[in-house]
Chain A
């Protein structure tokens, strides 16, 4: 009875979301092996080995839930910047940040009209934020941010209603919680890259343009109530 009532009443209150382009197509990689290159300069003297290790860990966060459905390949160093035509998916530190200084990182995702992602470039703001790789209080944790930005790189949008999610849209200095994916994040990557593993309700409920998953919404209820109590 309760389930039936909820099914009739609940509107679209999304948890995880995938990104749709202007044509309404969901973004995802068709080539499931994604290469990247790293420019470690301007990184506030972080150990380059630690940077590479954090980047690798950030990619593993998203590939582990889908097994061989998705892979990242480190192709070494590069010195490029944001460029859709260079064929390089670069991750770099920007010490002359030209965007809102409140942003700790930005990922540009290049896609075709059919939704196929063909590239990404990821910029990390080292002009306005202090960074660390060891959880130093007051510093922005590199892996915490990388895990979030890699989600965008594979087509996952923000999850604004699930504060525990890696794809929750805000962070704070010293936060480490986004290093590890929440179940909400795992559902998103499994939907995009391992679709046979999730049921039709979940598939429908978490697209920004589709009907809600009633079960997912029920789980989100306590969070929504808490938000209203603030």
Chain B
């Protein structure tokens, strides 16, 4: 019986083992990014060139946590919809108009595709259960365990701490 209880405890712990946006991840993503911004996804459009189909999302920046300050960012994500065809690229996040997002950016692209895209809900930063796909917290596949999201304030504080010991500019609220 005791063994069973131990096993059940392990099960309960690992059931919530989604990869969190922990301090190491924030640091890694920050190092790979030119800018880190929080913003609202306003709308999106499709572009098509020989490098692929792109969803270009217009994001109104509400806070710049790293990098130069711009009130509006255009963010390009591979994949999207072209006429009646859906164009899918693994790990590419979906930037949904109306969402409050945290984006780690290099140029106009998200670092590591879905690695650097998060949604903010109630001042918490959310990742998907599979740690790669960008999923709104209201969707079924989103992790709901305590490790699945982190307070935005903690991310902000860590980025500020990282910047204090590097050449990055300080966090700037737009």
Contact = CB atoms under 8 A, between A and B. Distances in A.
Given A2-B7, A13-B129, A228-B13, A82 B52 contact: yes
A154 to B, nearest CB: 12
A108 B112 contact: no
A19 interface: yes
Contacts of A108: 52-53, 78-79, 87-89
A163 to B, nearest CB: 13
B85 A82 contact: no
Given A99-B51, A224-B14, A228-B13, A9 B8 contact: yes
Interface residues of B, number: 42
Contacts of A46: none
Interface stretch (A47-55, A66-74, A109-117): A109-117
A94 B50 CA distance: 11
A98 B130 contact: no
A192 B8 CA distance: 33
B88 A109 contact: yes
B112 to A, nearest CB: 6
A149 to B, nearest CB: 9
Contact of A100 (B11, B14, B109, B130): B109
A160 B13 CA distance: 18
A109 B15 contact: no
Contacts of A81: 50-51
Shortest beta-carbon contacts, A-B, top 3: A81-B50, A98-B51, A224-B14
Interface of A: 1-2, 5-6, 9-14, 17, 19, 21-22, 27, 81-84, 94, 98-100, 102-103, 106-113, 118, 121, 123, 152, 157-158, 160-161, 169, 208-209, 221, 224-225, 227-228
28 contacts: A5-B11, A6-B11, A9-B8, A9-B12, A12-B129, A12-B141, A14-B130, A22-B81, A82-B51, A83-B50, A84-B53, A84-B82, A98-B51, A98-B52, A99-B51, A100-B106, A100-B110, A106-B89, A108-B87, A108-B89, A109-B87, A112-B85, A158-B132, A169-B132, A221-B10, A227-B19, A228-B14, A228-B17
